Amino acid sequence: MQTEHLTDSYSRGRPIRSGNPVTTPEDFLFQTGRNTAALPRTGATLAPFAYSGIEDTDGGGSGDVFMDSAFINAVDPSFTPHNVRKAMFEYDVTGYSSPSITSATVSGTLHVNNALDTGVRTINVQLYTGDGVMTLGDFNIASTAAGSFSYHPPTDSQVAFSIDVTSQVKSLLTAGAQFVGVRYAPANTQAPSVFVDFQQPTLTIAVPEPGTIALLALAAPLVLRRRR
C-alpha cells in the first residue's frame, strides 16, 4: 500500500474553489494535471485533491460562504443567526473501478476549535459525486450516509476515526464518478471543531495484489472444468 500525494493545489496553499476570490488560474490547471498515467491504479492512501469548509450563515439549508478552514459546527436552532458549518473533501479516484477495489476507508483526526461543553458532538459522514472543484452547492449536494463518529470536549480535545465506505465508493465508481466527495456534517448542536491543514482526512483504497489476480485467473478454468 502506497501513499499518493497527488498534484493538488493544497500543497501550495491554494484551495480549488469556484466563485471565490482566492481562486487562481493555476487551480484549474491541476484538474488536467492529475495523476492518471498509471492505470489501472494500485491500492493507495489518497490525500484530498480539494477541500473546504462551507457555512450556511442563516440556517436556510444552503451554503453561503467559504470558510478559511474546514470547520464543523451547528448553532442551536432557537438562536439567531442559526449558522451551520460543514467540511468537504474530494479525492481523485480516476483509474479505479468498482470491481477492482476490495475495500475503501476514510480516516482522520478531528480537533476541537472551541472547547465549550455543548454535549457530545456527533458528526455524520456523507459521500457524494465530486468534481474536483469546491462549490457552495457541495454543502447540500445529494449524498449517501456512510456512518458517524462522536467525541465530547472539553474532556476530549480530538477524535480519531476510521469508517468503512466500500459500498458507497463502489456505487459512486459504478455511476462513473472520477472524484469521491466526503462531507462531514454536524448531527446536533455543537461548538466548532476543525480539520487542521497539516492533518487532513484520507481515503484509503485497497485492490487485489497482482499476484492474487493472477492466481484467480489461473483458478477460473479449473473451476469451470469441475462444474462440467
CATH code, domain with 72: 2.60.120.260
Distance in angstroms (rounded) separating the CA atoms of residues 108 and 110: 7
pLDDT tops 70 at residue 202: yes
Per-residue pLDDT at 28: 42
User: If we measure between CA atoms, which residue out of 210, 212, 1, 226 comes closest to residue 105?
Assistant: 1
Average pLDDT of the segment spanning 167-194: 96
Cα dihedral value 6, 108, 203, 90, nearest 10: -70
- What is the spatial distance between Cα 194 and Cα 216, in angstroms, rounded to a whole number? 44
Model's pTM, two decimal places?
0.80
Which pLDDT score, from 0 to 100, does residue 9 have?
Answer: 37
Least confident of 62-66, 109-113, 166-170: 62-66
pLDDT for position 169 = 97
Confidence of residue 34 (pLDDT cuts 50, 70, 90): low
Mention every residue, 6+ apart, whose C-beta is less than 8 A from residue 67.
Answer: 52, 53, 54, 55, 85
* Cell numbers at 137, concatenated: 452547492
Given pLDDT bands bounded at 50, 70 and 90, which one contains residue 10? very low
In 8-60 the beta strands, taken as DSSP E runs, fall at 44-46, 50-56
Residue 77, pLDDT score: 77
**Coil, strand, or helix at residue 220?**
helix
Q: Which residue segment(s) compose the domain that 50 sits in?
A: 2-227
Q: In angstroms, how far is the first alpha carbon of the chain from the final one?
A: 39
Q: What pLDDT, on a 0 to 100 scale, did the predictor assign at position 17? A: 54
The structural domain count of the chain equals 1
Least confident of 40-44, 173-177, 193-197: 40-44
